[in-house]
Each structure stands twice: as structure tokens, then as C-alpha cells.
Amino acid sequence: MNVVGYKKILQLGLFVGLASLFCFGSSQALGKTVAIGVFAYQGERASTSDWTPLINYLNQVLPEHSFRLENHDAESLRRSLADQRIDLVITNPGHYITLEAEFGLSRIATLESLGVSAAKALGSVVLVRGDRMDLKVLSDLAGKRVAAVSPEGFGGYLLAAKELLHSGVDPESDLKEILFIGLPMNKIVEAVQQGKVDAGIVRACVPEQMVREGQLKPADIRVLSPRQENQFPCALSTPLYPNWPIAVTKQTDPVLAKRVAHALLSMPLAADGIGWTVPADYQPVHDLYRELRIGPYAYLREITPEGLVRRFWPWLLGALFALVAWIVHTIRVEQLVHRRTAQLRDSFNAREQAELGMRESQEQMEHLSRLSVLGELSGNLAHELNQPLTTIGTYARTVLRRQDRGNLTPEAISEACTQIASEAERAGGIVQRIRHFAKKRAAVREPVDLAHMAHEARHLVVGMMAHPPEVQITNRLSEHCRVLADSPQIQQVLLNLIKNAIDAGRTLAPQRQGIQIIVEAIDNWAHLQVIDQGCGLEPPQLAHLFEPFFTTKTDGLGLGLPICKTIIEAHGGRLWATPNAEGPGMCFTFSLPCHDLPA
Ligand code: ADP
């Protein structure tokens, strides 16, 4: 770092100093010694020689303070900052961003040279011997021996290290060897010249200075991956980075910081063009350090799979266990849900099958029951059909006889035919009703007239018996009570109850054979009662009345009443039996809900 020529600034600085005193006169921190810590990377003597002019200038222009130069290596500068023993720091950009992160330094100015931007002032050059035609670009250095200043050297190593990384050569692993041979940098150039190493990394402008001083011939060396930067006077292998900053610490008196900044910015350029300007942007330096994962970004080295595992293994182990547990739990839950769903589906299917089976067998039973009712009643069917057939025969023979006798009048033929047609219709009606009743069919719900059904049932039963009992029907049902039901099923219930009532009085005196049917509405329920004066039932028999296969008849099945009960309950109603309140015999009642007629 060449910062000579400050002495010549002093006369000019005097003027600026007086001006700043005028502008910023303050009593704060007066007389206090201000320590300026400098990173003396080239040794104390070189550093003192470089920075004494600046100290003198500051003492000159800010005489109320006493500025003192402190030369440090990187570690002692760190310690001094930690002990708050220095107020201002001058160091290279890389070292600055490290201290900035650690101690909260803030730059107040950046060093500049005439004709070179402060933001683009430092670069590196990678040299090989002039006759090494096999080495042209940085990537050619893979597997080669390279010399540099030190692992921390900003221009003497780090800038080139990043470019090597960019060209695919990791300086930490892809070189055959990297030799850090320290300062002065001339030693590195000499090592290249002597063939001790294949290449050397030095700060930009070092070779040009050696050429100027006669220590090197331009043809002796060649630059790898040379690049051009506007207005930069030296050969480069890397981009350019900002120059050295001067920074204040968190404890530095802000008034002092402001005075120093003002003094520095007001400092005229020295004869060799060195001066201070507004603080440059050090982001490129941050990017460099982040990429190399050093300084404040050294922690990134830990963010490798191995680093992470080494650092966070207890957490990772815990997370792994949690993950495995979660996966096992999820799979288990999934399996349970799967199994349970299958079980539910199976049981649902089984239930559906069972219900279907039950429906089918119930329909089958109902059908059988209807046939059985018919079977019992149809003992008299032949007799019943015989009546119209006999009448038909009688009329036909009468017509033939009168024809033989020759007294067949058109009126007689007409009367006979009318009677024959009427009797045939009657017989057809009986057959039709039986067929309709016996037919197998699916249940439907429709409005039914219970009284009308009672009349129909009476018609059917009475029509099939030689000596039918008297069946009296009383209808007290209001028009507003409408029953929704499957009429053949209700008809079947009615027939069963009427048949049982007839059976109950069959062996008794004719006055005990009469049956009464009452239809009425009670509390929005339609009630139909079948009352007989038959043999009745004892209480123990009553208790089993609706159980399947309970019968007191020799030829009985004991299925009629259970089926009737099932039918009525399927309609949302009830069927029950009580002794006849008016005398001997039984009263069977079923109830069905009334549905209001739509307005
Ligand atoms: P089944 O008529 O084939 O015996 P039911 O289930 O229709 O089958 O009747 C069962 C039993 O209930 C009958 O055997 C009879 O003992 C009794 N029962 C039914 N209705 C009456 C009634 N009105 N009076 C007396 N007993 C009756």
C-alpha cells in the first residue's frame, strides 16, 4: 500500500483545518488523544512511514485533538477494538467488513488515488513465467503449484482465489500446492521467475512497480486470464474492488467522527494523487467473502451437508425420529381407515343384502298368506260360482224348452240373455277380485278409503261363503283424515281379521256370529276395529297372540296376525287386540296416521 506524499499536503491542510475549526468548533472531546489503529500488513516501519503524514495533517487541522498512530497486525487490531482502545481504524476492505460485522464499525471515507475510482482500486494479478506457454487461463492452474502472500491477503490471495473458483479450480483442493510465502510480494514474483512455483498471486501494479524499479523484465512474466478495466493502469486477472476505508467505532464521539470525515474529504490530493473521498460501496467485498465463505461468512462453511450434520446432529436425529414416527403413524392411520372403510362397506353390503332378503321373504310370506286366506275361504268358492252358473244354465234351458214348445217370445229371449249376461258378470267379478288379491306385486303408497275397503273385503268374504255372517260397517272417519297405504296389503289385513272373526264364531249360535267393523278418527289417527262376539281368548293366549306360529286351530298356520302386524307397522301404525268391551268375543284394532289433504 503506497500512501506517501502526505508531507506536501500539510501546507494546504492548514487552510482546510482552519476552515473546519471555524465550522465545527466544539468543546466536545477537546484535548483527548485520538488513537488511529492501522492494519500494518507490511510491517511497522512501512506503516508508520505511510500514515504519519495523515496523522500530522489531522493534528494540524484539528489541533483540539491529539491524533496518534497505532500499528497493528490483524489480531492486535481486533483486541484493541474489543478493549475500546482505538477510535478510528484504517484497514484493507476485507479486514474492514470482518471488523464491521464484529464491532459495528462504520466507514467515514475511502482512500482514493488520482485517476482511479475509489470503488475500483484494488485488484490481483496471477503471473506465470513468460515461457510457460501451457498456462494461459486460470483454469490451467488445476493441479499446479501456486504461490500467494497469506490465506488472509486481500490482494495477495483472496481476490484471485474467487476468480479461480469461478473458473472451476477450488484453490483449497484443486491445486497441487499453495505456498503462502508472505511479504514483500516481490518474493512471489521471484519464486515464479525461478520456477519454484507454476504461478504467483500478487496485488495489481506490483509487477509494473518491479519493472519500473528494474527488478523485472516485462518478458519474464505473463498474466493469466488478463482483463481490462477502464482507466486502471496495471495488468489484472481479477475485477477491481474498493480501496481501503477509514472507519469509526460505535464508541467514537460522533462530533469527532464528523470533524475527521470533513477534514479527510477536504484534504487536497497529495503529489502522488493519494487522498480521501466519500465512503465507497463495500458490497462487492461482502460478495467476495460470502463466496469464499470466510470472515463474517465463515459460518457458511458449516452449511454443507456434513457441517450441518456435525452441528445439528441431535436436532436432526430428533427430526428424523419424528419424521419416521409421523410416517409410521400416517401409514398406520391410513391402514386403519382403509380396513375400517372396507369393514363398513362389507357390513353395509351385508345389511343391504339382509334387508333385500328380508323384503323378499316378507313379500313371499305376504303372498303365501294371501293364498292361504284364499285357500281357506275358497272352500265355498265352488258353491259361490255354482250359483251364477246354475242360473245361467236354468235360463238357457228355459229358452230351449220354450223354443221346443214354440212359445219362445222375443221378450223371453231378451230377459234370459240379460240374466245370463248379469250372472256371467257376477262370476267374472268374483274371479277377477280373487286374481287381483292373489297377484304378487310391489308395495305402493296411495290415498285409500278405509270404509270402502271394508265394504270390498266384506263383499269378497261374503261372496265366497254359503252362509255368511252379518258384517255391519260403520264409517265415522272425517274427510280430512286421508290414509296413505298400499291397498292390497290393508285389504289383506282386513280379510285376515274378518276371517279370524268368522272362525271365532263358527261353532256358536247365529246371533254370536255377527261382525261389526267401525272406522273412525282419533287424534289424527284413523282407527279400524273388527269386533266379534266369538269364543274370545284367555289372557295367557292373548300374550302370545302376535307371535309367529301361535294358533289354536287344527289347520292354522299362526302367521296371519304376525304378518298383519308387520304390514300395519310398516305403514307407521299399530295393531292390537282387546276383549270385546260390549260383550263376549274380541276386538282387533289397527291405527294408521292421517295425512292432511293439501289446501
Ligand atoms: P291362524 O288363523 O292360522 O291360526 P292367525 O295368526 O291369524 O293364524 O291367528 C292366530 C290365532 O289367534 C288363532 O289361531 C286364534 O287362536 C287367535 N285368534 C285370532 N283372531 C281371533 C278372534 N277374533 N277371536 C279369537 N281368537 C282369535
pLDDT at 309: 74
Confidence of residue 548 (pLDDT cuts 50, 70, 90): confident
Residue 67 has pLDDT above 90, yes or no: yes
Q: Which of 365, 552, 587, 589 to mutate for ligand 1's pocket (most ligand atoms within 8 Å of CB)? A: 552
Q: Are residues 493 and 595 in the same domain?
A: yes
Over residues 512-529, the mean pLDDT reads: 94
Q: Are residues 265 and 393 in the same domain?
A: no
Chain mean pLDDT for the chain = 86
pLDDT at 497: 95
Confidence of residue 13 (pLDDT cuts 50, 70, 90): very low
Residue 577 has pLDDT above 70, yes or no: yes
Cα 511 to middle of ligand 1, angstroms: 20
Q: Are residues 295 and 419 in the same domain?
A: no
Domain presence at residue 543: yes
Higher pLDDT: 375 or 333? It is 333
Q: For ligand 1, is residue 149 a contact (CB within 6 Å)? A: no
Say which residues have a Cβ less than 8 Å from residue 418's Cβ, sequence separation at least 6. none
Residue 12 has pLDDT above 50, yes or no: no
Report the run of H or E that residue 214 belongs to, with start and end.
none
Confidence of residue 374 (pLDDT cuts 50, 70, 90): low
Domain presence at residue 233: no
Q: Are residues 128 and 213 in the same domain?
A: yes
Give 141-150 pLDDT, tens digit per residue: 999 999 999 9
Residue 8 has pLDDT above 90, yes or no: no
Give 162-191 pLDDT, tens digit per residue: 999 999 999 988 999 999 998 888 999 999
Cα 360 to middle of ligand 1, angstroms: 25
* Lowest-pLDDT choice from 7-21, 296-310, 458-472, 562-576: 7-21
Q: Are residues 66 and 83 in the same domain?
A: yes
Contact in structure between 577 and 587 (CB atoms under 8 Å): yes
Q: How many domains does the chain have?
A: 5
Residue 26 has pLDDT above 60, yes or no: no
Q: For ligand 1, is residue 558 a contact (CB within 6 Å)? A: yes
Read off the CATH number of the domain in which 574 is found. 3.30.565.10
Read off the CATH number of the domain in which 91 is found. 3.40.190.10
Higher pLDDT: 459 or 160? It is 160
Please provide residue 177's backbone torsions phi and psi, each rounded to the nearest 5 degrees.
-160, 145
Give 479-520 pLDDT, tens digit per residue: 778 899 988 889 889 999 999 999 999 899 999 999 999 999
Q: Are residues 343 and 386 in the same domain?
A: no
Domain presence at residue 73: yes
Q: Are residues 465 and 556 in the same domain?
A: yes
Cα 284 to middle of ligand 1, angstroms: 108
Domain presence at residue 236: no
Domain presence at residue 581: yes
Q: Are residues 175 and 279 in the same domain?
A: no
Strand partners, 223: 127
Q: Which of 386, 407, 440 is the last residue of a domain?
A: 440
Q: Over pLDDT 70: what percentage of the chain? A: 87
* Lowest-pLDDT choice from 114-123, 291-300, 427-436: 427-436
pLDDT at 562: 87
Give 406-444 pLDDT, tens digit per residue: 888 888 888 889 989 988 887 887 677 666 666 655 567
Q: Are residues 496 and 578 in the same domain?
A: yes
Provide the domain limits for residue 404. 377-440
Over residues 355-363, the mean pLDDT reads: 78
Higher pLDDT: 384 or 111? It is 111
Q: Are residues 589 and 457 in the same domain?
A: yes
Over residues 7-11, the mean pLDDT reads: 40
Judging by DSSP bridges, how do beta strands 145-148 and 199-203 pair with one another? parallel
pLDDT at 55: 93
Over residues 255-281, the mean pLDDT reads: 88
Q: Which of 503, 557, 559 to mutate for ligand 1's pocket (most ligand atoms within 8 Å of CB)? A: 503
Residue 62 has pLDDT above 90, yes or no: yes
Domain presence at residue 18: no
The CB density around residue 352, as the number of other CB atoms within 10 Å, is 10
197: exposed, middle or buried (Cβ count in 10 Å: 0-12, 13-18, 19+): buried
Cα 500 to middle of ligand 1, angstroms: 6
Q: Are residues 204 and 219 in the same domain?
A: yes
Q: For ligand 1, is residue 544 a contact (CB within 6 Å)? A: no
Q: Which of 256, 272, 301 is the last residue of a domain?
A: 301
Contact in structure between 114 and 267 (CB atoms under 8 Å): no
DSSP codes, 166-188: HTT--TTTTSSEEEE--S-THHH
Distance CA 107, CA 89 (A): 9
Q: Are residues 492 and 558 in the same domain?
A: yes
* Lowest-pLDDT choice from 43-47, 290-294, 359-363: 359-363
Domain presence at residue 137: yes
